[in-house]
């Protein structure tokens, strides 16, 4: 028995790159110890990981997967039994590693660094502007194109991109993490940040 999927556990419109625990994650009830659309940031050579949460309202289980090559946690269809949840994961991700939800969130954060593709894009636009953009944080505008003509975000650089290819109309490049109010106002999604090991 299955039921329709519900709720996105990682509300990317309200994150600044630090994944937060939604309300239904119960720190004291870790049900099991176990980036869709990686086109936006490129690929990683990292294994798929998953955990499973219990959804009390529907009395079932929901697999949460961090796919190989992604920094975005994906929610699979909810199922009635824990065995069905594990079976669904291994059917789609045969080599997935089962981890705790804290480990899953931590891994998602660690993967959220600029891919070579993103670095190249930032360097190209930075060269034209006389700025070093690869040291900046990147957000995406999934709902509409953005520009400096109407969006009021201090020190932002707006890079137009292909929504079908990246999932975003515009990349919003800023020197540091944006305030939550700005993220909410413009309905932005966190994309990636500089590799902490990168130096000028």
Residue 4 or 138, more confident: 138
Q: Edge-to-edge, what's the strand order for the sheet holding 49-55?
A: 74-75, 60-66, 49-55, 97-98
Domain end: 76, 111, 146, which one? 111
Note whether 100 and 178 are same-domain residues: no
Note whether 21 and 107 are same-domain residues: yes
Residue-number span of the structural domain to which 104 is assigned: 12-111
Domains: count for the chain: 2
Cα separations in angstroms, 69 against 6, 19, 90, 92: 24, 18, 17, 14
In a domain, 6, yes or no: no
Note whether 72 and 146 are same-domain residues: no
% of the chain surpassing 90 pLDDT: 42
% of the chain surpassing 70 pLDDT: 75
Note whether 135 and 106 are same-domain residues: no
Strand 170-174 with 157-160, pairing: antiparallel
pLDDT digits (tens, 9 = 90+) for 37-60: 333 333 345 678 999 998 877 789
Note whether 16 and 100 are same-domain residues: yes
Q: What is the 3-state secondary structure (H, E, C) of 99-157?
A: CCHHHHHHHHHHHCECCHHHHHHHHHHHHHHCCCHHHCEEEEECCCCCCCCCCCCCCCE
Domain end: 111, 130, 147, which one? 111
pLDDT category of residue 13 using cuts at 50, 70 and 90: very low
Can you tell me the distance from the alpha carbon of 134 to that of 160, in angstroms, rounded to the nearest whole number?
A: 16
**Residue 61 predicted with pLDDT over 60:** yes
In a domain, 52, yes or no: yes
22 token code pair? 């939604």
Domain end: 57, 88, 111, which one? 111
Note whether 106 and 23 are same-domain residues: yes
Please give the model's pTM, rounded to 2 decimal places: 0.53
pLDDT category of residue 19 using cuts at 50, 70 and 90: very low
Note whether 38 and 107 are same-domain residues: yes
Report helix, strand and coil shares of the chain as percent, to nearest 5. Answer: 30, 20, 50
């Amino acid at each position: 028995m299955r039921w329709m999927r519900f709720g996105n556990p990682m509300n990317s419109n309200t994150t600044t790159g630090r994944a937060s625990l939604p309300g239904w994650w119960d720190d004291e009830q870790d049900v099991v110890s176990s980036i869709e659309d990686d086109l936006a940031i490129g690929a990683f050579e990292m294994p798929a990981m998953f955990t499973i949460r219990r959804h009390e309202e529907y009395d079932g289980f929901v697999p949460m997967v961090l796919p190989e090559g992604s920094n975005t946690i994906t929610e699979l269809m909810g199922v009635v039994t824990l065995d069905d949840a594990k079976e669904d994961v291994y059917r789609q991700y045969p080599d997935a590693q089962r981890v705790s939800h804290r480990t899953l969130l931590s891994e998602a954060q660690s993967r959220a660094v600029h891919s070579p593709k993103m670095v190249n894009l930032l360097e190209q636009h930075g060269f034209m502007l006389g700025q070093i953009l690869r040291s900046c944080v990147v957000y995406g505008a999934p709902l509409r194109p953005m520009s400096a003509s109407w969006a009021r975000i201090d020190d932002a650089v707006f890079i137009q991109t292909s929504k079908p290819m990246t999932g975003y109309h515009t990349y919003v490049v800023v020197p540091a993490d944006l305030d939550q109010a700005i993220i909410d106002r413009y309905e932005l999604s966190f994309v990636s940040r500089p590799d902490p090991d990168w130096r000028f």
